[in-house]
Amino acid sequence: MNMPLVVQKYGGTSVGTIDRIQHVAQRIARIRKTGTQVVVVVSAMAGETDKLVKLAHQICDNPERREMDLLLSSGERISSALLTMALQALGIPAISMTGRQIGLQTDSVHTRARIKQIDAKRAQQALKENNVIVVAGFQGINEKGDVTTLGRGGSDTSAVALAVALGASQCEIYTDVDGVYTADPRMVPKAKKLDVVSYDEMLEMASLGAKVLQIRCVEFAHKFRMPLVVKSSYIEGGKGTLICEEDSNMEQPVVSGIMYDKNQAKITLKEVPDQPGIAANIFGSIADAGLSVDMIIQNISAEGHTDLSFTLDREELNEAMVIMEKVAKKIRAVNVSADSKIAKISIVGAGMRSHSGVAARIFKSLSKEKINILMISTSEIKVSCIIEQKHTKAAVNALHTAFGLDTKPTPIKSIENKNSPARKKSKIKKK
Ligand code: ASP
Ligand code: MG
């Protein structure tokens, strides 16, 4: 009597109103009637979590994280109870569960807890009794039994963890976009939806600012090889984007996506003495302050002095400048300056592993647009460039064209069915 099982996660806009909740209930009812078991994970109704955060901040600037968790977890409870009622109203047996009831155990790092394991006994029983389970995402309990939350956007991670624990065939993430795009469609009119993206690519994209999925959710899915599908809850029958293991038989486009991030700033130290220990001094003090540096370049030295630049998140610029002024004095650098009118443009593609000339093509197409490159960094499947912010749109569009993304990327063999590797079941252990 082994029925197929899917885990579906619905984001805040998908359950944002009673209408939307009823719409989602109808979707689930249809799938349920095909004989598939469904476990649903919900986010709080759109805007709800922000509202709760604001309430807390009306009382104090730095509320205790433990109390924040209890407060924030309530948003997801509301949507899970309402969706369960909507299912029941359609005659579908359904049961709502909080993080505690679903057995999701985490560490004790309040407001950004990590999942340790899921004790899925109760869920398995509820499934046996033919229920759709509607789980309040984003939350668990620690070993003391206190409520914890998984960090903003954490319901995605709840969904993947449950999919793994219950041995689901895949985890479907329903949101307000119909998949992962080659670029931000607001910036690049010719952006196309991707059919398939590898975990590695998705991880790069998520950390470069693609908002579709929480980074940790992708890490989790990768670790347990759980296929993820991103789809829109507004479109019926859309295929969305499948995120899965790279398939060596697959015809890889060289580049899958072009990302941009305008939220960067650059600090330059001029005429730094070129001696051992200087970089350690600079970046040690940045690290001590808990700030994180992204790219670093150092010029070749002239007469024992060199210039050194690095980038970091714009929000951290002021704090970093205060530190750098001090460091500059200590190491006798001549001058420190900041530039926040920059943007980071990145090209991501697993196909880069086996193709050469990617960097050259980037430089050529940017130079054709007369865009100057200020900094460059590369990794196995990514090249990032810092440019002046005013050129962002031109750069992203030029690269989108240069890498052949304006037309639908090379047809990729569907690997949806082939890709069902053995997965670890029931217990999820922390790394
Ligand atoms: N409601 C939480 C948030 O807004 C978690 C989530 O939506 O995944 O961050
Ligand atoms: Mg979300």
By most ligand atoms within 8 Å of CB, the mutation choice from 69, 73, 138, 215 for ligand 1 is 138
192 and 143 in one domain? yes
User: Do both 327 and 351 map to the same domain?
Assistant: yes
Pocket of ligand 1 (CB under 6 A): 12, 43-44, 49, 75, 137-138, 152-156
Report the candidate in 173, 162, 166, 51 with the shortest Cα–Cα distance to residue 98. 162
What CATH number is associated with residue 180? 3.40.1160.10
Whether pTM > 0.75 for this model: the answer is yes
In a domain, 130, yes or no: yes
Find the CATH number of the domain harbouring 262.
Answer: 3.30.2130.10
Q: Are residues 171 and 81 in the same domain?
A: yes
Show pLDDT as tens, one digit a residue, over the chain (431 residues). Answer: 578 999 999 999 999 999 999 999 999 999 999 999 999 999 999 999 999 999 999 999 999 999 999 999 999 999 999 999 999 999 999 999 999 999 999 999 999 999 999 999 999 999 999 999 999 999 999 999 999 999 999 999 999 999 999 999 999 999 989 999 999 999 999 999 999 999 999 999 998 878 889 899 999 999 999 999 999 998 888 999 999 998 766 667 889 999 999 999 999 999 999 889 989 999 999 999 989 999 999 988 888 899 999 999 999 999 999 999 999 999 999 999 999 999 999 999 998 988 888 999 999 999 999 999 999 999 999 999 999 999 999 999 999 999 999 986 544 443 333 333 333 333 454 33
Domain enclosing residue 123, as ranges: 5-247
Query: 373: number of CA atoms within 13 Å, CB side?
Result: 19
| Distance (Å, whole) CA 416 – CA 382 | 25
Residues 202, 310 within the same domain: no
Q: How far is the CA of 371 from the centre of ligand 1 (A)?
A: 38
Q: Which ligand sits nearest to residue 151's alpha carbon? A: 1
Same domain, 135 and 277: no
Residue 353 lies in a domain: yes
Number of domains in the chain: 2
- Domain end point (choices 218, 247, 276): 247
Residue 16 Cα to ligand 1 middle (Å): 12
Together in a domain, 275 and 344: yes
Same domain, 186 and 332: no
Which helix (H) or strand (E) covers residue 284, if one does? helix 278-288
Task: Out of 180, 214, 247, pick the residue that ends a domain.
Answer: 247
